Homo-oligomer: A and B are copies of this chain.
């Protein structure tokens, strides 16, 4: 049903906080035997924001993406922030990033697109529609998440997997082969409570619910994994059918870096356990909303995804939502 969207990813960039927490350091901090945190989480190291704000990381990633695209801010008419978490409750993230960028007199539109860990994917799809419609010419999408403040690493399996960071992409109208073939997402409300942070919004504000106002990240990993694993094969089949693209035509699978177990499962289940899957989980952990664009960055800059090649962006996120985009780079 979707028309082809003629959009090209002109450049990408990433940024991580300065502080690094290695598996060995985490073992020591938690009083665990050497190797234990790596065995449980699969994360060798993750970056944790101590001094940096999400807007600062986002600005750094966006600048790198723009430089990589060989473009100037004056050519950009919309800045989209597609993070899973907020920097402040108000204003929205993209306004905070714009202030951080200090672009002088250049005026542009800013907005947020949000869908937990699928925020970048939804933004890529929507902004491609906006470019195809002639609404915007060149768009920067940036995802920046600082989630480690809200996790409790003593719960290694469900909290020890996260890392902070940001990643950005520059989109422009494509005159060549670059395009989105199909985009699809579904939300499974039966899993809405499988992954959540109750505080931070109007529901459990301290005035009414002081006991919840400091709530930390909660994940029910097993039912979440089971729900996504049940839906994913049919979801991917429908997406590829809509795109008219076969699995073997895909140069790369670029998945959300959810967890070691999830990545291994999806690679095997979908037949991408032959080196065609981008996997940076061990280096960065699960970077929440920044995870998918970080994987996209490495698809291009490490795996050498070439213009004209097809790839599949795929992920799941709190909600619970599943989303995918089949595109030609």
Which listed residue (B84, B87, B189, B323) contacts A90, Cβ 8 A?
A: B84
- Bound CA span A188–B108, Å: 9
Residue of B nearest to A132 (CB): B133
Chain B CB within 10 Å, residue with most, of A201, A202, A217: A202
Question: What total of chain A residues lie within 8 Å of the partner, measured CB to CB?
Answer: 87
Binds B, one of A38-46, A179-187, A263-271: A179-187
Contact of A110 with B115 at beta-carbon distance under 8 Å, contacts A1-B134, A129-B133, A318-B90 already known: yes
Indicate if A89 sits at the interface (CB-CB under 8 A).
Answer: yes
**Complex Cα distance A49/B320, Å?**
27
Mark interface residues in A103-134 (1 if CB within 8 Å of B CB, else 0).
10001111111111011001001111110111
- Chain B residues with CB under 8 Å of A217's CB are 90
How far apart are the CA atoms of A99 and B112 in the complex, in Å? Answer: 22
CA distance A1 to B110 in the complex (A): 18
Chain B residues closer than 8 Å to A107, beta-carbon distance: 186-188
| CB of A3 to closest CB in B, whole Å | 4
**A150 → chain B, closest Cβ, in Å?**
7
Pick out which of these stretches binds chain B: A66-74, A190-198, A245-253, A291-299. A190-198
A205 at interface, CB cutoff 8 A: yes
- A276 and B102 alpha carbons, distance in the complex (Å): 38
CB pair B147–A202 under 8 Å, yes or no, is: yes
29 A–B contact pairs at CB < 8 A?
Answer: A2-B134, A54-B203, A85-B201, A86-B200, A86-B201, A87-B202, A87-B203, A88-B199, A88-B201, A90-B195, A90-B197, A90-B200, A91-B318, A91-B319, A94-B319, A95-B320, A96-B192, A98-B319, A107-B186, A108-B187, A109-B186, A110-B187, A110-B321, A111-B113, A111-B185, A112-B114, A125-B135, A132-B133, A133-B133
Extra contacts besides A86-B86, A98-B189, A112-B112 (10): CB < 8 Å = A2-B135, A92-B115, A98-B192, A111-B113, A112-B115, A126-B127, A126-B129, A129-B129, A135-B183, A213-B214
Q: Which 9 A-B pairs have the closest CB atoms?
A: A89-B200, A95-B319, A86-B201, A112-B114, A91-B318, A89-B197, A146-B202, A99-B192, A129-B133
